Amino acid sequence: MPKVDRRIAKTQEAIKKSILELMNEKDFDNITIQDISDRANVNRSTVYLHYLDKYDLLEKMVEEHINQLKETDEWACQEEWIDATQIFFEYFEKHFLFFSTMLASKGAAPSFRSKFLEYVMDGFKDELQKTNGKSEGLSDDVVVKFAANAYVGVLESWLKDGMPSPPKTIARELGILLERIL
Amino acid sequence: MPKVDRRIAKTQEAIKKSILELMNEKDFDNITIQDISDRANVNRSTVYLHYLDKYDLLEKMVEEHINQLKETDEWACQEEWIDATQIFFEYFEKHFLFFSTMLASKGAAPSFRSKFLEYVMDGFKDELQKTNGKSEGLSDDVVVKFAANAYVGVLESWLKDGMPSPPKTIARELGILLERIL
DNA sequence: TGTTATTTGTTGTTTAATTAACAAATTCAT
DNA sequence: ATGAATTTGTTAATTAAACAACAAATAACA
């Protein structure tokens, strides 16, 4: 991957941070491109250089994270549940502003929750198929839905509460529980 | 004043913040331009676009603040001592990283302390001349030195202690004392 | 409703930052 | 002290961001 120009990286980071902060302050509908560029400390036209509009911006942010998470799946699935969960919670911690805004704020887009839940379910499903799981006789579908909803729910409260415990701790607890299910 | 290009402002801010942070972490001699540009997240050559070297960078930072303070003198001297002192302490608070690094850290350059003390003395001297002061029969020079050293000393501890009280509070205390002297 | 004001996209030009590359000077370690 | 590695300044070419200006679309509101 040809590494991106530093200016592009900085500009896009500033813009992304900007819209997330604004989403915590006002309704998404009322956020203007001007708001975003002001907060990001870039020219308004610069925003258009990278994104079509605020919806495109948010979409691209979501896609990037989902893709990044899927890539992480590739090697994290080698680990035990506890360790793999820790890897992901460190990712959530690193991108706390994004995940807390998207999953655990008033402006939280329900569409992202669905998409994220879908992603988690896909990951669990693959894992079940590989390892054959602990629950013979139970429908994979139910097991996966059970685990994924639990996972997302725990993540949501962890974010809402401002990450009261470090990723390692919450991941151990969640990992132990997942191990009993999957 | 033709307002500066936003890119220049951002770059210079990042570079200034960078060197101040580094001064709190290592000896000034051991700070490289590479260190500065890395921390500032700009290309190394960009630093040279704005400054000759790290000494020039620091010099310009100092000059800017001294000039800014002198400009503030122009209108702050209209105020009572308490209010004027508050204005300046709000400035110190706003630029805490700079002043705490330069006056109240291990890397604190003694050369800045002298320069700053000089600036404070000049301001007090002017004020004394205008108002004729409260201490007839005493040498202006001694009165000014007395007050300026007290002022700088109080500022230093306020910075060293991480601004334990808000500008308004410390300014009131210091202002009352200055009023008895000047 | 009409009419102001704001926001939106887009454009052309100018300016700054990035990048990679280089020789020269320093610093480091043996 | 010597060779290796780092840091320093500088350069030329390329790319991105800023800026200003614009008409068109929306929103605000009287």
**Pair (B73, B31) in one structural domain:** no
Looking at residue A44, its pLDDT comes to 98
| CA B47 centroid distance within chain | 23
Tell whether A168 is covered by a domain: yes
Distance CA A118, CA A149 (A): 10
The packing angle between helices B81-94 and B167-181, to 10°, is 140
Residues B164 and B78 in one domain: yes
Q: What DSSP letter does each residue of A43-82 carry, written as one string?
A: -HHHHHHH-SSHHHHHHHHHHHHHHHHHHHHHHHTTS-HH
pLDDT of residue B133 exceeding 80: no
Tell me whether residue A149 is in a domain: yes
Give the DSSP per-residue string, chain A: -PPPPHHHHHHHHHHHHHHHHHHTTS-GGG--HHHHHHHHTS-HHHHHHH-SSHHHHHHHHHHHHHHHHHHHHHHHTTS-HHHHHHHHHHHHHHTHHHHHHHHSSTT--HHHHHHHHHHHHHHHHHHHHHH--S-TTS-HHHHHHHHHHHHHHHHHHHHHTT--S-HHHHHHHHHHHHHHH-
- Do A94 and A139 belong together in one domain? yes
Mean pLDDT of A44-63: 98
Q: Do B10 and A43 touch (CB under 8 A)?
A: no
Split into its structural domains, chain A has a count of 2
pLDDT (average), residues B170-180: 97
Residue to mutate among A3, A5, A10, A37, with most B CBs inside 10 A, is A10
The domain containing residue A25 runs over which residues?
1-51
Question: Predicted confidence band at A155 (pLDDT cuts at 50, 70, 90)?
Answer: very high
DSSP state of B28: G
Straight-line distance from CA B16 to C1' D3, in Å?
37
Distance of alpha carbon B134 from alpha carbon B181, whole angstroms: 7
Structure tokens at B81: 């001592």
Residue A56, domain member (yes or no):
no
How much is the pLDDT for B127? 92
Mean pLDDT of B52-74: 97
Residue A47 lies in a domain: yes
**What average pLDDT score do residues B101-108 get?**
89
Given 3-state DSSP classes, what are the helix, strand and coil percentages for chain B, each rounded to the nearest 5? 75, 0, 25
Instruction: Report pLDDT for A141.
Output: 94
Does residue B10 lie within 7 Å of nucleic acid chain D, judged by its CB?
yes
Q: Which nucleotides of C are covered by protein (CB under 7 A)?
A: 6-12, 15-21
State whether B45 and B72 are in the same domain: no
> What's the whole-number mean pLDDT along residues B114-122?
97
* CATH classification at residue B39: 1.10.10.60
Whether A1 CB is under 7 Å from strand C: no
Confidence class of residue A107 from pLDDT cuts 50, 70 and 90? confident
- The residue behind tokens 């033709």 is B2
CB atoms near residue B174 (< 10 Å):
21
Mean pLDDT of all residues in chain B?
95
| Model pLDDT for residues B19-34, shown as the tens digit of each residue | 999 999 999 999 999 9
Together in a domain, A104 and A161: yes
Are B175 and B143 within one domain? yes
- Positions of chain D reached by protein Cβ under 7 A: 6-12, 15-21
pLDDT at A140: 93
Residue A53 CA to nucleotide C7 C1', Å?
Answer: 12
Model confidence at A114, pLDDT cuts 50, 70, 90, reads very high
Residue A175 lies in a domain: yes
Residues B149 and B79 both lie in one domain: yes
Q: Tell me if A140 is assigned to some domain.
A: yes
B80 with B10, same domain: the answer is: no
The answer to whether the Cα torsion of B78, B80, B83, B86 is positive or negative is positive
Q: Are residues B41 and B65 in the same domain?
A: no
> Does residue B91 share a domain with residue B175?
yes
Average pLDDT, integer, range A108-125: 93
Q: Which two tokens stand for residue B42?
A: 């700009």
Does residue A108 have a pLDDT over 90?
no
For the CA of B155 and the C1' of C24, the distance in angstroms is: 45
CB contact under 8 A, B43 and A6: yes
Q: Which of B30-44, B94-108, B148-162 has the lowest mean pLDDT?
A: B94-108
* Contact map slice: B 19-58 vs A, CB within 8 A: 41-43
pLDDT of residue A22: 97
Do A10 and A74 share a domain, yes or no?
A: no
CATH number of the domain at B151, please: 1.10.357.10
- Estimate in Å the CA B34 to C1' D5 gap, whole number: 15
Does A74 share its domain with A139? yes
- Strand D proximal to B7 Cβ, under 7 A: yes
How much is the pLDDT for B106? 84
* Spatial separation of the C-alpha atoms in residues A162 and A96, rounded to whole Å: 9
Regarding an ipTM greater than 0.85, the answer is yes
Query: Does residue A91 lie in a domain region?
Result: yes
Backbone angles phi, psi at A145, to 5 degrees: -65, -40
Percent of chain B with pLDDT over 70: 99
